[in-house]
Amino acid sequence: MKKTFGLILLAVTLIITAYFLFVYFVPYSTGTRSGELIKISHKGVLIKTWEGEISQGISGAQIFSFSATDNDAIEKLREYQGSYVRVDYIERYRTFFWLGDTKYFVTKVQKENSPH
């Protein structure tokens, strides 16, 4: 009985660990987006995360929401607030509450010249 319980517990632990590793390390997609950086904020009650938005349209109807965990990218986002930027990102299958609110995570930020 103890051996069966131990094997079931081990199997459940391995499945949960594999799920977390898959969600964290395997990206769904990668890409680049450009637009005006309209928001970067540090929000949360117990666990604070960095969240931002890029406006990709003239009317502001096309908003790209993202999270940031890389310290270098966060500093550049804070510096370029209100500017036209290009961001490289990865999209994960899911997210964890301690990483951010969205499935999109910015990895690199570059200031660009506005096309307007």
Q: Read off the amino acid at residue 18.
A: A
Residue 18 has pLDDT above 80, yes or no: yes
Whether this prediction's pTM lies above 0.85 is answered by no
CA angle 95, 97, 99 (to 5 degrees): 65
Inside any domain, residue 3: no
**What's the pLDDT at 23?**
86
Domain at 79, CATH number: 2.40.50.140
pLDDT in tens, 46-97: 899 999 999 987 666 789 999 998 899 999 999 999 899 999 999 998 888 8
- What average pLDDT score do residues 29-57 get? 92
Inside any domain, residue 6: no
Inside any domain, residue 4: no
Q: Read off the amino acid at residue 64.
A: F
Beta-ladder partners of 43:
49
Q: What percent of the chain has pLDDT over 70?
A: 97
Mean pLDDT of the chain: 90
Q: What are the backbone dihedrals phi and psi of residue 24, each rounded to the nearest 5 degrees, phi first?
A: -80, -45
Q: How far is CA 2 from CA 7, 54, 106, 111, in A?
A: 9, 55, 47, 60
Q: How many domains does the chain have?
A: 1
Inside any domain, residue 101: yes
Q: Strands 49-55 and 63-68: what pairing? A: antiparallel
Judged on CB neighbours under 10 Å (0-12, 13-18, 19+), 4 is: exposed
Q: Quick one: pLDDT band at residue 45, thresholds 50, 70, 90?
A: confident
- The domain of 53 spans 27-111
Confirm if 87 and 108 have CB atoms less than 8 A apart: yes
